[in-house]
Amino acid sequence: EMETSGTVLLPPAQDEKFMVIGGGGVGESKLSSNRTRIVDMKADSPKFVDGPTLEKGTRYPQASILPDDSVLVSGGSEDYRGRGDSNILQARLYHPDTNTFESVADPLVGRNYHSGSLLLPDGRVMFFGSDSLYGDKANTKPGVFEQRIEIYTPPYLYRDSRPSLSGGPQTIARGASGTFTSPQASVIKKVRLIRPSASTHVTDVDQRSIELKFTVSGDKVKVTVPENKNLVQSGWYMLFVDDDQGTPSKAQWVRVP
């Protein structure tokens, strides 16, 4: 029941853990799965083990990595392309550190086939698309391509303040460092380099969040990009810093040549 499942490289990418979310039977099968499965590629003998379950069997789930290392899982449908009015109006945050799902604000718009989600540079997530086969529960009316867009605001953006980041280089080579300015530098606890999403058909082969080592001096944050080319592929990334509450800055765009 792996067809129409979602796959995500869990953050940080250095952990080399992948999660498979939901899925269903081949083609127009009515089968759907509420399971998640996780594989640790660093293990001596990597194998899939069960993660937390979803409330419903879910085809076409969307998964977006957030800068605080959680993963937003939302939408999907229980049946093929939302057939039988089976869209799932639920969202969950997956926490890799505790291997648990947390219920969060649910979407108002159903998403199934041909839908996607993108992490925005301000830390929010945009949901778009969906191509339901039918437009009613009895499957008598043709579906229409969903043109509404939804924006999800994670809990970390409802805190009193967030760190800021500015003044750094636009290009940092692998193995090199760059220095940014942040008035909240003393409380920075994480730095993440997140690849822009490129989501289609429940797959995002680019999506990854890379942990960067950093040092702090006054209001300066010096970050270092890992040397491993397999880990840090060339291209543009969003650079986020998280404070001691887990609240991320807005992203600075950085190119790795």
**What pLDDT score was predicted for residue 243?**
97
Distance CA 231, CA 209 (A): 10
**What pLDDT score was predicted for residue 240?**
98
Dihedral through CA 131, CA 136, CA 142, CA 148, nearest 10? Answer: -40
List of the chain residues with pLDDT < 70: none
Name the phi and psi angles at 83, rounded to 5: -55, 145
pLDDT in tens, 111-142: 999 999 999 999 999 999 999 999 999 999 99
Helices (H), 18-124: none
**What pLDDT score was predicted for residue 79?**
96
With beta carbons less than 8 A apart as the criterion, state whether 96 and 10 touch: yes
- Looking up tokens 């959680």 gives 70
> CA-CA distances (angstroms) from residue 161 to 89, 203, 208, 232, 250?
30, 34, 26, 30, 12
**What pLDDT score was predicted for residue 199?**
78
**What pLDDT score was predicted for residue 83?**
96
**What pLDDT score was predicted for residue 27?**
86
- Tokens in use for 153? 């605001």
Predicted TM-score of the model (pTM): 0.95
